[in-house]
Amino acid sequence: MTDPAALSLREIAAALRAGALTAAALTEHAIERHERLGGPLGAYKHWDPEAARVTAEAANAAFAAGADLDPMQGIPVSVKDLFGVRGMPTQAGSPKRLPARFEAEGQVVGALRNQMAVFMGKTHTVEFAFDGVGINPHLGAPCNPWDAAHHRLAGGSSSGAGVSILEGSAYVALGSDSGGSVRMPAAITGTVGLKTTAGRWSLDGIVPFSPSLDSPGLLTRTVEDAALAFAAIDPVCDGVALGRALDAAEVASLQLGLAEAYFWDNCAPGVAEGVRGALAELERAGARIVDIEFPEAAAGQAEGMKGQVVEAEFLANMRAELPEWLETLNPFLVGRLASLESSELLPSADYLANLWAMRRLAVAADARLKTVDAFVCPTVVGTVPKEEDVRTPEAYIAANCLVHQNTYLFNILGLSAITMPIALDKAGMPVGLQIVGRANREERLLTIARACEKVLGTGLERLGTPPLCR
């Protein structure tokens, strides 16, 4: 069998339909990859190869009977352990299983289920998605496969998602993004991560964190793969039209906005250099990189750091839905919630003022992006830390703020965004280029990112294979 890692999702789908590849063989290859590499990497909280084999055989039978259920039929998928998946427990990164109602499947998982996608298991998440660096004192943290010498973190809160893609046990990984929780682990692991606009995809069947900002998303090997998976899940996307747009995408017609203030602060050695080098390649291919003002960024970050929406919604949801789980929250989260609990949450006027300020900034930011095709910046400015370096509250808070610097604000501003791998920093860790588009314009964003990928190459082409995945 041709190594599926050498094929795009579109090529795999075509091979499945032509009979050159079977869903069972593809699934066995994914299982073998995990069994060979997954032990030290620890991507999964719940690994279910037998259920995967059953679904793969059913997908084979459907193909044999002439039933084509759309592109994801027979494709191995991992699912962040915030999403309900029938027959699999949900813990949401907590010490114990959540009630059965949190195992019900929502629209995102249901769309894949209806296409006979093969669910390989549930990937690790930080506790209730409340962290960006990827630590979990209860269940342990996946290991970033780019560092063979240390247990370096893989980002959060979708901490196992990028690792599952790199080890080859999944070709699409479902995650959620409230402050960067798809884009951060994607950038940190050298994969592609798409954050959808909040409200575009249903939150049903997903353990809530901050419903005002929560948005489902996905991680893949390439932008082209992300576009196919997006079209398969999205309830309104015209997949055929998107495919044609991707094929025709060229950077020569693009105008990309760049802001020198804020987004380049605190960059680790090699991060700014890697992103600016990629932008220079795009310019040589005909893209126009233009300086724009983006005052909504700093203003949005300031509103977000107040915590009056995110932390208040999280605590209110926990009190209403999972009060017993508040008793087992890890100390880092307890510390972040202490001020809210001492004041009995917040006065409603403060909460609403913070929410309305975010919404006003979102309208202004969307209007500002009308002047360019997309906005570009580094995804994560720092090098992801080793697990041993974030064991104190002070170190954890500093690392968590740094990793969120360029991602959280785009949740606050209600925009769509994607990250793609473009370099390794001086520590040998992946660097992501973040491309930001207008709200609910994911098809256009994916087309722009695919045009860039045609020039820059895929993550495998630019970065190679991680040491722990060889």
β partners of residue 246: none
**Cα–Cα distance measured from residue 35 to residue 350, given in angstroms and rounded to the nearest whole number:** 50
| 56 membership: H or E segment, kind and range | helix 49-64
| pLDDT tens-digit map of 385-443 | 999 999 998 999 899 999 999 999 999 999 999 999 999 999 999 999 999 999 999 99
pLDDT surpassing 80 at residue 335: no
| pLDDT tens-digit map of 244-299 | 999 999 999 999 999 988 999 999 999 999 999 999 999 999 999 999 999 998 89
The answer to whether the CB of 220 falls within 8 A of the CB of 9 is yes
The answer to whether the CB of 152 falls within 8 A of the CB of 209 is no
pLDDT at 297: 87
Location of structure tokens 């809530």: 208
pLDDT surpassing 70 at residue 344: no
Give 180's Cβ-side CA count (13 Å radius).
Answer: 31
The chain-wide mean pLDDT, for the chain, equals 95
Residue of 308 and 229 predicted with greater confidence = 229
What's the rounded mean pLDDT across residues 129-144? Answer: 95
pLDDT surpassing 70 at residue 341: no
Its sign, for the CA torsion 19, 24, 30, 32, is: negative
pLDDT surpassing 90 at residue 347: no
pLDDT at 146: 98
> How many C-beta atoms surround the C-beta of residue 101 within 10 A?
10
List 80, 169, 178, 195, catalytic entry: 80
What's the rounded mean pLDDT across residues 77-103? Answer: 98
List 157, 164, 169, 416, catalytic entry: 157
Q: Quick one: which of 403, 389, 387, 38 has its CA closest to 187?
A: 403
Dihedral of the CA atoms 60, 61, 64, 65 (nearest 10)?
A: -140
List 181, 210, 215, 416, catalytic entry: 181
Encoded tokens for 291: 């300086």
Pick the CATH number of 7-469 from 3.30.70.1520, 3.40.640.10, 3.90.1300.10, 3.10.310.30: 3.90.1300.10
CB-based contacts of 470, cutoff 8 Å, min separation 6: none
Scanning 118-200, the segments in alpha helix (DSSP H) are 161-167, 183-189
The answer to whether the CB of 140 falls within 8 A of the CB of 187 is no
Q: Is 384 helix (H, G, I), strand (E, B) or coil?
A: coil
Strands (E), 326-415: 374-378
Provide the pLDDT confidence category of residue 301 given band limits of 50, 70 and 90. Answer: confident
pLDDT surpassing 90 at residue 64: yes
The answer to whether the CB of 419 falls within 8 A of the CB of 185 is no
pLDDT at 245: 97
Q: What are phi and psi of 42, to 5 degrees?
A: 65, 45
pLDDT at 346: 61
**Cα–Cα distance measured from residue 305 to residue 287, given in angstroms and rounded to the nearest whole number:** 34
pLDDT surpassing 60 at residue 345: no
First to last CA, the chain: 18
| pLDDT tens-digit map of 203-239 | 999 999 999 999 999 999 999 999 999 999 999 999 9
pLDDT at 305: 79
Task: Let me know if 169 is a catalytic residue.
Answer: no
Task: Let me know if 8 is a catalytic residue.
Answer: no
pLDDT at 2: 73
The two beta strands, 44-47 and 118-123, are antiparallel
Task: Let me know if 80 is a catalytic residue.
Answer: yes
Provide the pLDDT confidence category of residue 340 given band limits of 50, 70 and 90. Answer: low
| 215 membership: H or E segment, kind and range | strand 215-220
Q: Quick one: which of 451, 460, 462 has its CA closest to 227?
A: 451
Encoded tokens for 15: 């091979």
Provide the pLDDT confidence category of residue 10 given band limits of 50, 70 and 90. Answer: very high
